[in-house]
Amino acid sequence: MITLGGLAAAVAIMFGIVAAGSILPVLPTGAAVSATAVLGAHYSPLAVPVVIAAGGLGAYLGDAVTFAICRAGGEALTRRLRLLRQPWKLAGTVRERLRRRPVTALLVSRLVPGGRIPVLLTAAIVGLSWRTFIVSNVAACLLWSATYSAIGLLSRNVFPQPWQGVVCAIVVVLVAGQVAGRVEKRRQARAGKDSGAQVTP
C-alpha cells in the first residue's frame, strides 16, 4: 500500500533526479519520471498530473541552469565542464528549427539521447532570447514528462504490483534509450560518410 507520505517522498526524489540530471546528464531522468508515475497511479489517478508537473518543473529548472551556463560561457565553457560528450558543429537546420519551432526542437532534443545539451548550446550561441526559451521550454518539458509518465502507466497496466510496474518502467526506458542512442549514432555516422563522399573530388 502506497501512503501519501511515501508518494510525496518519491515525487521529491524524482524532482531532484530530473533537475540534477538535466544539468549533468548522468542520471536516468526519464526512468525516474516513469517509475514515479507508476507509484502515483497506484496511489490515485489524480496523483499522475502532479507527477507530470513535478517532472516538468524539474526538467525546466535544469534546462534553465544549463541554458544560462551556455549563454554565459558558450561552447568553450560547456566543454570545460564536460557537458558535451563530443564536439558539436552548429547545423543550419537546427538553428532554423529553433527559430521557427522552438517548442518542437526543444522537445525532440529531450527525447533523443544526447541531443538536449547540443541543442541548448546552439540556442544560446545563435541568440535565442530568454523570453522565447522560457515560454517554449515550458511546453517542451511538460510534454516530455507526460511522455515518460505514459510509458510508466503502460507498464503499470501490465503488472498488478507497484514494484513490478516500477521495475518494468525503468527497464523499458533504459532499453529504449540505448536503442535510440545506437540508431542516432549510426545515423550520424552515415551522414558523416555521405558528406565526406560529397567533398571528395
- Domain boundaries in the chain? 4-199
Residue 82 pLDDT? 52
Q: How confident is the model at residue 179, as a pLDDT?
A: 58
The pLDDT value given to residue 51: 95
Residue 99: per-residue pLDDT: 77
What global pTM score does this model have? Answer: 0.72
| CA gap 37, 144 in Å, rounded | 13
At 143, give phi and psi (nearest 5°).
-65, -40
Q: What is the pLDDT of residue 56?
A: 95
Distance CA(36)–CA(56), nearest Å, equals: 13
Q: Exposed e or buried b for every residue in 2-35, given b needs 16+ CB within 10 A?
A: beeeebeebbeebbebbbbbbbebebbbbbbbbb
Count CB-CB contacts under 10 A for residue 128. 23
Nearest 5 degrees, angle CA 147-CA 152-CA 157?
125
pLDDT along the chain (201 residues), means of 10: 85 95 85 88 89 95 90 65 48 71 80 76 80 86 88 70 56 57 57 48 47
Predicted local confidence at residue 65, as pLDDT = 92
For the chain, first and last CA: distance in Å? Answer: 68
